[in-house]
Amino acid sequence: MAKKVLVIETSLRARSNSDVLAEEFARGAKDAGNEVEIVSLKGKKIAFCTGCFGCQRAGHCVIKDDANEITEKILEAEVVAWSTPIYYYEMCGQMKTMIDRANSLYPRDYKFRDVYLLSVAAEDEDYVDEKAAGGVQGWVDCFEKAEFKGKVFAGGVNDQGEIKGHKALKEAYDMGKNV
């Protein structure tokens, strides 16, 4: 049965390596017959969460910017894949800000069940993405119907286009194909 898949690209770099990885995941999911949408944070206005908890009462964030539209897309997706460059062994700041701003999802009837992480970094050691994966797991832990299903990490890529030919591209495609 086809699923509604949302891929969120959080890098602000044009044609970033993490975008290329995300697009392979999306291509795999699409080739498997799923409905796939890619949302990029490039050019979006997303303010920091102020911790006011107005979203818990209103059902949406009270800050009027692009985060609310993205949050509604997360609400309706059955599968959510976050893609990020790894900065200082962690997800990029704009990804964390978007996760924080999606706090209004907590009391709502969200549809997502499967969550994935796609990440890239200049460093190539296996542990490089562990804190980012932990951050995504922490978000997922707040949603009892959701599960962190997996991750793909592409290490050793920094400059634009360096991901070309990386084995992680096939891993991302295969993961997307099997959502």
* Bridge partners, 5 (sequence order): 36, 79
pLDDT at 1: 87
CB atoms within 10 A of CB 26: 24
pTM over 0.85: yes
pLDDT of residue 172: 98
Domains identified in the chain and CATH numbers? 4-177 (3.40.50.360)
Low-confidence residues of the chain: pLDDT under 50: none
Sorted by sequence, the CB contacts under 8 Å of residue 77 that are 6+ apart come out as 4, 5, 6, 37, 111, 112
Both ends of the chain: CA-CA distance in Å?
10
Is residue 2 within 8 A of residue 35, CB to CB? The reply is yes
pLDDT score for 54: 95
